Structure 1
Amino acid sequence: MERCRTLEVNIISAENLEQVNLLSKMNVYAHVSVSADSKDGSRHEKPKQLIRTRPDRAGGRNPKWNSTFHFVVPHGATDDVVAGLSLRVLLRTGRALGGDRDVGEVTVPLSELLLASSSTADYDDHKPVSYQVRKPRRSENTNGAGTLNLSYKWSHQTQKIVEAPPVARNQEGEDGTGTAAAFLVMDCVTWGSIFLLA
């Protein structure tokens, strides 16, 4: 079995996001993925699987989710594969007309998260971090547009990849679908697959 490590990410909240809905309150949700950087670093390749939080219909520019995801990636901070992977959180909002709209995004290299964790001996606790939200890369102006708060931790153990439906469970175990999650065990070589917190 290939050696893998699990990255547990809790998407907690965001603050002071740009108001992109002119006529209605924003219902912000987060698309979360692990994706590979392109050769020239200008964009991200399409992720193996894209998952999302439920929209916060009350928070507006300051949404809260507290949704936890697990990503399984190759084990080892120096692996060439890991060096080319990033955690990407794309914030979007629903709209009554014209379809959903991008609010901003955060991209963090997995190697950065691994190095930060290696500086402490305590792998059991989540490490809280905050990142500036930037407008999507396709936008002409990518200046900051708020703050995203999340926490993460890496597992000690290596394991097979487990993949689940693309809906996040919150801390109460709700998944927003009313259906039970179906799990599929996969080979570890298929990086970037996700399973949800049971």
Structure 2
Amino acid sequence: MECKVLDITINSAKGLQDVNLFFKMEVYAVVSIQDYNITRDNTCMQITPIDKDRGRNPEWNSPMKFFVNTFASQLSRLTLVVELKADKKFGNKDIGEVQVPIKELLDSFVESNNERSVSYSIITPSGEAQGLLYFTYKFY
């Protein structure tokens, strides 16, 4: 089983749907790699710090590392999932989600020391695209 390391930095999001009525949103991201042949594994989940200041346009610049099974990714089984959530006193609220096939990231990555910067549309719980998630990544 060949593995690669995915170095990813969750940078920011812009234009999020505001899920708070009276207060500024405090937003964080839950990042995981999911294999569709395996039941959801919460041990591979990483969380950014909460951005308490920027509301609909949070910034984290939060670096993370994941180990990626390249065989599973070439079979299109692996997906990078970034869930955006609003931190609330009486239960967190889902803002939206980004799902990116790992195969897509691997195929578009040029083997070098340079990180690749990308942005993806955020899909709200109602299924609409609203806002963008920005991150950088590289494999080695």
Q: Please, what TM-score do these two structures have when normalized by structure 2?
A: 0.91
Superposed, which structure 2 residues align to 1:177-188 within 5 Å?
A: none
Say whether residues 1:52 and 2:47 are aligned partners: yes
Shift of 1:49: 2.1
Residue among 109, 119, 127 paired with 2:116: 127
In 1: Cα distance, 2:113 partner to 2:78 partner: 23
Letter in 2 for 1:153: K
Superposed, which structure 2 residues align to 1:147-186 within 5 Å?
A: 147-155=132-140
Q: Aligned pairs, how many? A: 137
Shift of 1:45: 4.0
- In the other structure, the counterpart of 2:84 is 91
More helix by proportion, 1 or 2? 2
- In the other structure, the counterpart of 2:57 is 62
In 2: Cα distance, 1:123 partner to 1:88 partner: 24
1:111 aligned counterpart, secondary structure: helix
Shift of 1:46: 1.1
Letter in 2 for 1:61: R
In 2: Cα distance, 1:133 partner to 1:30 partner: 12
In 2: Cα distance, 1:33 partner to 1:61 partner: 22
Q: Unaligned stretches of 5+ in structure 1?
A: 39-43, 156-198
Q: Unaligned stretches of 5+ in structure 2?
A: none
- In the other structure, the counterpart of 1:110 is 102
More strand by proportion, 1 or 2? 2
Larger radius of gyration: 1
Letter in 2 for 1:34: I
2:44 aligned counterpart, secondary structure: coil
Shift of 1:3: 2.6
Deviations, residues 131-168 of structure 1 (Å, cap 9, x unaligned): 000013xxxx201121000011010xxxxxxxxxxxxx
In 2: Cα distance, 1:123 partner to 1:104 partner: 32
In 1: Cα distance, 2:39 partner to 2:27 partner: 24
RMSD of aligned residue pairs (Cα, Å): 1.5
Shift of 1:37: 2.6
Letter in 2 for 1:104: G
Q: Please, what TM-score do these two structures have when normalized by structure 1?
A: 0.65
